[in-house]
Structure 1
Amino acid sequence: MKINTLFYTVFFSLIILQGFAQRAKVASADKQYDQYAYVDAIATYERVAEKGYKDEKMFQKLGNAYYFNAELYKAVKWYDELFIMNKDQESEYYYRYSQCLKSVGDYAKADKMLEEFNKKSGNDKRAKLYMSHKNYLEEIKANSGRYNIENAGINSEFSDYGSSFSGNKLVFTSARDTGGISKKVFKWTNQSFTNLYSSDVKQNGVLGEPTLFSKNINSKFHESTPVFTKDGTTMYFTRNNYLDGKKGKDSKRIVLLKIYKATKRNNKWVNVIALPFNSDEFSVAHPALSPDEKTLYFASDMPGTLGQSDLFKVSINLDGSYGRPENLGATINTEGKETFPFITDDNNELYFSSDGRPGLGGLDIFVAKVEKDNLFKEIHNVGSPVNGPQDDFAFLIDNKSKNGFFTSNRDGGLGYDDIYKFTETKKLTCEQVLAGIITDQETALVLPESKVSLFDEKFQIIKEYISDDKGYYTFEVDCGRTYYVRVEKREYLTKEVPVIIEKITGKTDLSLALEKRTKPIQIGTDLAKTLNIPIIYFDLDKSFIRKDAAFELEKVVAVMKQNPNMYIDVRSHTDSRQTQQYNKELSEKRAKSTIAWMIKQGIESSRLTGKGYGETQLINKCADGISCTEQEHQANRRSEFIIISM
């Protein structure tokens, strides 16, 4: 941007300022349904865990069960075990663990867990920028092609930039030489110092011949970037540190920038004053007004700036005084330069220029959605043809006509910087819907009246939805954000999953299947399936109980102790390798080994029968002479636990 050379001098330095847990409603373990009895999965896990068995997923489920039911002090026990077993957990477990630790007064450890959560959830700004803008050229391409642009028709061979609407006029900055008795030249560019000019905006959008804006405002130094109140009686503008014939300098004797205010009386601009938050030691420039005219946005390198220059805001009080300037924060500002803010007249969007974000050139124009609480959503590059390989800045748009102006030093212009006019043909919007169907994990039947909760990346509740009669739920969500979806329903285990929303308009499907907390059993039920016990228990040619098998078998023992009238038939199977006779004998040994282990755990021998079936009941194609993978063969080495009496 050639305006850099205008402002960086020994006289004048311009920074181009340019659930928590929701209570899960679950059925009690002893609820009965007609002729069925029910197994409480969590109670079973707890009995197994109390016997000293350790399993990571089991500890997750136990901790979650109490966390989602708001019994945080009980969840601590199982989250303790989880992190002792494996400290490398997904980010949400650090958050849950932290909340639970606070419930027992362990704030020091809770804070450590929160620190880890922040690291895990990607709070490092550099990592976030990298991840969110990894394919930034594709994102910019998707945003491009929404403007028809052309030369504004008011440019000179000098620098013209920084326009603003005032009634039916466009007021802008220019270094053009309009003559006069006293001609003051900016030595670094051999151009005149910039002044404010205005052009009539005609009905067809054509701009009239530029004229000097106001002798009372234009001084012998630089004036630029004005903004006006709607009634046209007050203006804010940027000028060198110069007022009433006095020039102010910083400690290095450099003249910086300040924002000034002027009022209009009898058709003249008078009472020029410097705003109270200006300073001789830093620059303040490029004012922009909120639609209600209660907030002034600007760019500055004042103390508290995150980068070379940041965007700030300050409240304008009813008595004419000003609040304390506030940095717009890391959502907007980077380690680079943020400058030239502009707020749309519906207060929905903030436009600004930045060289601290991935873009097409030096300064690119970006836009951020303004939230209801005046915070800002994720930043978007407005794309080409507004942005290009050079500097693009000073964006201005009339929301009603969709016409506007911006400044660029791109090739093909008339001067150093030129003003271009544009028409917006398509709004830059990314609209996403998150939706899905809630079903039963076992039966695949839809689950109406399921409570679906939407959380942000910090687990703050956003919205809740009750699934309809088809199990369907839907949320309007923001593009490019991470959310957590939690589903709760009576008699089912609560389920919570993260989801990343794409950065393009569309629909994100997240259908979830819930596991029943209490599961029906009857004569003929295979407890291995009911308890989600893996079908692989035995190594090749072996009949001893592996450690992982012992953990799974303990679930069957727990259920049998809970149901003393239950009798089980243990059925052991092998793969097809080896001879049929060998496999028959091996499966018999495995059945006997399983029964013997269960008897040692306290189950009466009279309640257990068993038989080995060898390779006679394969569950896949892997019979003799057929080539199969090791995984396919392992699937056939299994045990079943069939209820024969209750």
Structure 2
Amino acid sequence: MKNFKTLLFITLMGSLCLTAQNNDTKRADKEFARFEYVDAAESYLKLVENGKGSDYVYGRLAESYYNIFNTVEAERWYAKALETSNDPEMIYKYSEMLKANGKYKESNEQMEKFASMRPSDNRATAYRKNPDYLPKILEQGKKFNVQNAGFNSEQSDFGGTLHDGKLYITSGRNDSRKTYGWNEEPFLDIYTLTENSDGGYDNPTLVNSYINTRFHEGLVSFAPDGNTMFFSRESYFEKDFEQDSLSRTRYGQLYLFKATKLKDDWDEVESLSINSENYSVKNPSVSSDGSTLYFASNMPGGYGQYDIYKATINDDGTIGEPQNLGQKVNTEGQEMFPFISSNNTLYFSSNGHLGLGGMDVFYTKEIDGKMAPIRNVGIPISSNADDFAFIIDEVSGEGFVSSNRDGGMGSDDIYTIKKLQPLCDVLIAATVLDDKTREPISGANVSLYDDQGNKVVTKSTNADGIAEFIIECEKDTELEVTMDDYESRKVALQGTSDEESPVQISLSPIEKIITPEEIVLNPIFFEYDKSNITAQAAFELDKLVQVMNKYPELVIKATSHTDYIGSDSYNQRLSQRRAKSTEQYVISKGIDESRISSEGKGESEPKIDCGTNCTDEERQMNRRSEFLIVSGGPESQE
């Protein structure tokens, strides 16, 4: 009974609020009904500012902005309206706006709500076919062949760096050594193996005592001249540790060292300046040009437990200041085992990025000082166990990865790998040129869209007219190029597995679309029986706005036409709504309302008078928008 009374009270209050809304929103509602979305939005906003906001007002605000493709404001007010509303269609539109603003995770969360409310809706079923990241990782798999290396022991074995005809690994197979408490295995040493006639490796041999100590040694990496080796070692060797006064347990760090090759062996071991008693540095990897050292560290100021850093290797062999690779690479979890390959692809292991479980192997590349999107290498390199110490020769496609996955010989095993297919990254190098002079255009905005039509990122062209992007291979994409005084262009790119995909885009002066009578745009399409401005329509109308900004005396009349399908009265009403939406979009971009008017012509002025026997092409030509110059054209302003 109590619940019933509560429900009755809420229903009565809702009715009172609705009545009040109708009185308060009369002006705004009238503007909305007239498709004057710019004015309607302003009127609804005033209600909010005067403390008369409500679910109804928030929803109308969102719809106003949605209809003129103001995605930021539409997102904001859909979110506000949905604090108490549970309307499925509003949830779907909110998801669209989030996606348009690049908020894919939030968009998916709203799509999940929508799909649960309307499971038979085609939009819901399409989403449910690919709801999260796991299928993507699994589907991109089988890029590598992975085999147990065969030289693993019953203890921990990992790494795999080839140098001077030998394979360097780290192993706990030395049973004569004492064990350590972490896994009750012997302390780790660095070993070398030699290649046999079958292409495998055998004859494991301890590296000399200058390198191996009674403490842990870890992964190695070599400078390109072959005379310097970087490796990890515990700080106990340096007598650098703390001791708990109660348990008498020693707490040390991991340090990086370098050794110099003298004749046929390693000597002159030196601790690096980046070491500290306050944190660990480990997992070295030297770039192919010898200029940069990559490593993992838990030094203060990072984003998680261990982060990946880089530091300059100076000409005199000293190491510069560590530089964190940033939050795109590093997470609140652990990022370790960096490997920088010969083509400057950075591979690393992480349990913070989306993966299959444990530590997975990921890769990225630095472009224009920024890291490309982080990609999971996929199965069978990544698994639901810990997968780490990935190393590859980009020329041969061969390398090694270490893992504690099921089926190995010890706690960690080394696996040989062979790349079968290219990894899913393609470098798009877009060059923007002036169509007449063929000179590069600097400062043009180039936007990358994914295969779902979502804007991913926007870059400006450099002095050579070039903007570069890294995308996933075999994915269709689109580039949109805009520049002051030039006509904007969109270029569709077909998915490829090539490592690089160069493309030239020529821009024509904006005057190309101006005739003495009208502004000629590409066809502006509306969805069936709808009048809201779509992304495609917005792209074309932005050209009109560009022209009107350049020629401030220009006055335009926008007309909308239909084909013969449907009744005269229906076509007239539909064309009027579409013409009004077009007008409102232009006004929303800052053009004074006195400079643009609109009129729906219905089917009264066909481009081709073909009656009821029109072809599909003729009907399409009749379904058009025109932008007539009323006054103030370029010629009159000369």
Question: Normalised by the shorter chain, which TM-score bucket?
Answer: 0.5 to 0.7
What is the CA deviation profile of residues 343-363 of structure 1, one whole-angstrom value per residue up to 9, with x for unaligned ones?
Answer: 11x243111111121122211
> Of the two, which has the highest radius of gyration?
1
The residue number in structure 2 matching 1:355 is: 351
8 Å contact 2:428–2:471 — kept in the other structure? no
Query: Equivalent residue of 1:210, what SS?
Result: strand
Give the drift of 1:166: 2.2
1:478 equivalent among 470, 473, 477: 470
8 Å contact 1:451–1:487 — kept in the other structure? no
Any residues of structure 2 matched to 1:472-621 within 5 Å, and which? 477-479=469-471, 484-486=480-482, 494-496=486-488, 505=497, 519-520=514-515
The residue number in structure 1 matching 2:422 is: 427
Separation of aligned partners in 1, 2:437 and 2:157: 62
Separation of aligned partners in 2, 1:379 and 1:478: 10
8 Å contact 2:513–2:521 — kept in the other structure? no
2:445 equivalent among 449, 455, 458: 455
Give the drift of 1:411: 0.9
Separation of aligned partners in 1, 2:256 and 2:268: 14
1:329 aligns with 2:329: no
Separation of aligned partners in 2, 1:173 and 1:518: 67
1:249 aligns with 2:248: no
Separation of aligned partners in 1, 2:602 and 2:202: 95
Residue type at the aligned position of 1:391: D
Residue type at the aligned position of 2:471: C
Separation of aligned partners in 1, 2:345 and 2:603: 69
The residue number in structure 1 matching 2:19 is: none
1:189 aligns with 2:183: yes
The residue number in structure 1 matching 2:537 is: none
What is the CA deviation profile of residues 54-98 of structure 1, one whole-angstrom value per residue up to 9, with x for unaligned ones?
Answer: 9969xxxxxxxxxxxxxxxxxxxxxxxxxx9x9984679xxxxxx
The residue number in structure 1 matching 2:377 is: 382
Any residues of structure 2 matched to 1:94-133 within 5 Å, and which? none
Query: Equivalent residue of 1:157, what SS?
Result: coil
8 Å contact 1:455–1:483 — kept in the other structure? no
When residues 459 and 529 of structure 1 are mapped into structure 2, their CA distance, relative to the original with a 3 A threshold, is closer
Any residues of structure 2 matched to 1:359-374 within 5 Å, and which? 359-371=355-367
Give the drift of 1:431: 3.5
8 Å contact 2:486–2:507 — kept in the other structure? no
Separation of aligned partners in 2, 1:396 and 1:410: 18
When residues 203 and 303 of structure 1 are mapped into structure 2, their CA distance, relative to the original with a 3 A threshold, is farther
Separation of aligned partners in 1, 2:223 and 2:382: 28
Separation of aligned partners in 2, 1:531 and 1:152: 63
Any residues of structure 2 matched to 1:273-312 within 5 Å, and which? 273-312=270-309
Give the drift of 1:159: 0.8
The residue number in structure 2 matching 1:100 is: none
Give the drift of 1:307: 1.7
Residue type at the aligned position of 1:362: G
Give the drift of 1:290: 1.0
RMSD in angstroms over aligned alpha carbons? 5.5
The residue number in structure 2 matching 1:260 is: 257
When residues 339 and 89 of structure 1 are mapped into structure 2, their CA distance, relative to the original with a 3 A threshold, is same
Separation of aligned partners in 2, 1:357 and 1:142: 18
8 Å contact 1:435–1:511 — kept in the other structure? no
| Structure 1 unmatched ranges of 5 or more | 1-53, 58-83, 93-118, 439-446, 466-473, 522-526, 535-558, 564-573, 579-600, 602-612, 624-634
Query: Equivalent residue of 1:243, what SS?
Result: helix
Separation of aligned partners in 1, 2:108 and 2:393: 31
Query: Equivalent residue of 2:137, what SS?
Result: helix
When residues 381 and 215 of structure 1 are mapped into structure 2, their CA distance, relative to the original with a 3 A threshold, is same
Residue type at the aligned position of 1:222: H
Any residues of structure 2 matched to 1:216-231 within 5 Å, and which? 216-231=210-225
Separation of aligned partners in 1, 2:271 and 2:108: 37
Separation of aligned partners in 2, 1:168 and 1:138: 40
Give the drift of 1:500: 9.6
8 Å contact 1:432–1:501 — kept in the other structure? no
When residues 121 and 215 of structure 1 are mapped into structure 2, their CA distance, relative to the original with a 3 A threshold, is farther
Separation of aligned partners in 2, 1:430 and 1:514: 34
When residues 134 and 164 of structure 1 are mapped into structure 2, their CA distance, relative to the original with a 3 A threshold, is farther
Give the drift of 1:455: 2.8
8 Å contact 2:513–2:520 — kept in the other structure? no
Residue type at the aligned position of 2:330: N
The residue number in structure 2 matching 1:417 is: 412
When residues 272 and 129 of structure 1 are mapped into structure 2, their CA distance, relative to the original with a 3 A threshold, is farther
Residue type at the aligned position of 1:357: H
Separation of aligned partners in 2, 1:262 and 1:502: 49
8 Å contact 1:152–1:420 — kept in the other structure? yes
When residues 138 and 247 of structure 1 are mapped into structure 2, their CA distance, relative to the original with a 3 A threshold, is same
Give the drift of 1:127: 6.6
Residue type at the aligned position of 1:388: S
TM-score (norm 1): 0.54
8 Å contact 2:215–2:237 — kept in the other structure? no
1:233 equivalent among 216, 227, 238: 227
When residues 229 and 190 of structure 1 are mapped into structure 2, their CA distance, relative to the original with a 3 A threshold, is same
